[in-house]
Each structure stands twice: as structure tokens, then as C-alpha cells.
Chains A and B, each alone.
Chain A
Amino acid sequence: DQQVKQNSPSLSVQEGRISILNCDYTNSMFDYFLWYKKYPAEGPTFLISISSIKDKNEDGRFTVFLNKSAKHLSLHIVPSQPGDSAVYFCAGNSGSARQLTFGSGTQLTVLP
């Protein structure tokens, strides 16, 4: 049972344009959501998070939107830069252990 789904395995965007990465979840117990970026041969790097009581969180070029009724979140990167090329994972967080449940990732390629 995939509790977190990232349905687009890959996305290509031109440098300077907006990148939109999407994520859907099924577990209503998630109360916190996080986005991670991963380069090859490295561990995931925390990018931005959002609590379920909010619908938007912004940090520089990165904005995460949460639509609880649709169980959907998205990450907007604007403007996109070639250095943003990486695999992006969304994750839901819940439970006493606060373990993360990850999606399968989206490979973002920003073309110069």
C-alpha cells in the first residue's frame, strides 16, 4: 500500500522557468510533510516542510502548497536553476516515532 505517491518519475524544465513537483498521499494521519532533494551517491537533503495546519510555506525560491481535502501537495521552484537537477522526494510524517514515509521520487532536470 503506497501511502505517498509521486506519479511523475521525471520532469524537465528550462532554466529560469517554474518547476512544479506533485505528490499525493492516502494516510490521513500524516500531520507534517517534508520535501527532500537527493543527488547521486549522497543522502537526501532536507529542503522544506509544511505542517498540516497550513496550506503554504515559502523559503526563498521554494514554496510548498498543501491541499488537505485533495490529499495533495506540490513543490514549486522558481526560478529553476541547473543546480536544482536532482531527485526530489516528498514524505509524510506521523506517529509517535515520527518516521518518514517517502514517495518514489521525481527526477528533475533543469536545462540550461
Chain B
Amino acid sequence: DTGVSQNPRHKITKRGQNVTFRCDPISEHNRLYWYRQTLGQGPEFLTYFQNEAQLEKSRLLSDRFSAERPKGSFSTLEIQRTEQGDSAMYLCASSLAQAGAYEQYFGPGTRLTVT
């Protein structure tokens, strides 16, 4: 399977702990996105990488959140000092930067529960 993969699929953590999620995009895709989805809502954009450069961050991405894409391949999203409000599904998507085709392909997500 050559789709987007995310690990872990589920994470339960206690408030105040740090967590890190990993995303492996489709191999030839140079754009990578992180979204967050809460119950009853659509995914909300968090941040975007083109190759290894983080080019855009949403105001939703507080100082406790950091994302990296060190070699332009996989990406990690870290949340420090987790809060109960961080409980959500974290989705990663990738796409190929080409004019006129802006489809993004999503991974299965990481479900975070903060207790």
C-alpha cells in the first residue's frame, strides 16, 4: 500500500504529558499538511510543508505544538504539555504541487485522548 500512513493510530495520554505523532506521505508528494478534526466538525488546517520547509501555520497551532519534516519525507507533530482540549483526530495529508490539481490524500489519522 503506497498511501499516507500515520502512527500511532490511537494515543491515550495524561494531561501535561508530551506526545509525538508521525506521518509518512505518499513518496513522490512534496507537500504535506496537518489537520485536526473534532467531533461533528470538518478537519481544520494546522500547518503545511513544501519539501522540508514549514511555510504556513494556522493560528490554531499554539506554542505547545511543533511540527517538523526533516528531510522532506516523513513528518512529526509534537504536542507539549497536553491539555484536555487537545483531544481530537490528527490527520496528515499529502499532495503533489502542480497547477490545476489540488487534491490532497489523507492518512487514517491519529486519535488522541487526553485524560
Contacts and interface: CB of A to CB of B under 8 A. Distances in A.
Nearest to A93: B102
Interface residues of B, number: 27
A4, A91, A95, A97: which has the most chain B beta carbons within 10 Å? A97
Given A42-B108, A44-B43, A46-B106, 4 more contacts: A91-B42, A98-B95, A100-B93, A104-B42
A47 B44 CA distance: 19
Interface of A: 4, 32, 34, 36, 41-46, 49, 51, 89, 91, 93, 95-105
Interface in B100-115: 100, 102-109
A107 to B, nearest CB: 10
A97 B55 contact: yes
Nearest to B10: A41
B22 interface: no
B33, B41, B100, B103: which has the most chain A beta carbons within 10 Å? B103
